Each structure stands twice: as C-alpha cells, then as structure tokens.
Amino acid sequence: MSRFVQLFTLNDADATQRVSERLALAIQDPAAYQEQFAEELEERGIVAPLPAQELRDIALIDALLGEELAWESDWNETSAEIADGINEILTRQKTTRALLPAALLKRGQPGPEQLDAVQDALESLGLALVLFSLDSDSFPLGVVADAQAETARRLAADLGFQLTVY
C-alpha cells in the first residue's frame, strides 16, 4: 500500500505513513474507520455505514485531501480555479512544475469535459491527472508522474481502489 500512496506523496515519508495507516484502517476495520472519522464523513453527508468499496474510496480521497495532495473540483470551476487547485497539489509535492491557467482556456463548457483539457496541460509537464471515484457533483483530483500512470492504475486495482488515471 505504501508504494501506491508514495505515487501521490512522493518523498514525504510522514505523509506516506499517515495516509497508509488511514487506508489500512478503512480496509481492515471499516466500522472502526467510520467511528474514528465520523465527523469528516458527516461533513460529506454520510451518517450511515457505507459499503466497503465506497468507504475505501472516500478514505483515500479524504486522506489525500488532509495532506493537501488532492483537490476537489466543482463542475463549474473556472480555468484559473482549476489551475490553482492543481498547483496547490504540485506545491505540496514539492515540484517546480506549474499548471498555467492559460493552458486551460480552450477547455470549453464547464463539466467533466474540462478534465481532458487539464490532462492535456499536465501531460506537457510530464504529469498525469488522477480522478478519484466519488458519487458526487465534484471531481476529486490528484496528480502523479506520467511515467507512473500505469503503475498507479495497477496498484489501485490491486488494492481495490477505483480511480481513473488519464
């Protein structure tokens, strides 16, 4: 699991440990996870027990959000807001690359299609966009190195997480 988490945390060993521990709890003892993180789940409107798959996906998203290694984009975000959100992740990952808002201007109408423009802009930086599964009108996003995209897909599937790596 640590290898998967490191794709997002890079060289931050403390963040890798915190995220890995949280995910391990969600996988090994879903009831304990829901009890320990009840307040966060309630903020998402979740008050009843969740199916194991949905819980582990939310645990991944919330763990990365807590480390500022993921960002939730609303369907109507502007180009500048999307770039700011992705750049927050890149700053936390301690990368010198940045997504310029101008790279997203051609994205067209708000909605899921905007993710294609984000990926196109990230690809030119050697990065890949990750869309985490969440039944919501928001799009939880992360970033991994483009060279690690296939590894991210494989490890996510091996661990039972649902995500899309562009």
pLDDT tens, position by position, 91-102: 999 988 898 877
The three-state DSSP-derived secondary structure of 39-71 is HHHHHCCCCCCCCHHHHHHHHHHHHHHHCCCCE
pLDDT at 155: 95
Please provide the DSSP assignment of 55-119 as one string.
HHHHHHHHHHHHTT--EEEETT--HHHHHHHHHHHHHHTT-S----GGGGGGG-SSSTTHHHHHH
Mean pLDDT of 11-31: 95
Mean pLDDT of 64-93: 89
The rounded distance, in Å, linking the Cα atoms of 27 and 56 is: 6
For 132, the enclosing helix (H) or strand (E) is strand 127-132
pLDDT at 134: 76
On the question of pLDDT at 144 being above 70, the answer is yes
For 21, the enclosing helix (H) or strand (E) is helix 13-28
**Residue 123: pLDDT band by 50, 70, 90 thresholds?**
very high
On the question of pLDDT at 37 being above 90, the answer is yes
Task: Write down the pTM of the prediction.
Answer: 0.89
The rounded distance, in Å, linking the Cα atoms of 28 and 64 is: 19
Exposure of 125 in the CB half-sphere (CA atoms within 13 A) = 21
**Residue 128: pLDDT band by 50, 70, 90 thresholds?**
very high
**Residue 5: pLDDT band by 50, 70, 90 thresholds?**
very high
The rounded distance, in Å, linking the Cα atoms of 12 and 15 is: 5
Mean pLDDT of 76-89: 86
Mean pLDDT of 75-92: 87
Q: In whole numbers, what is the pLDDT of the chain averaged over residues?
A: 89
Answer whether 145's CB lies under 8 Å from 128's CB: yes
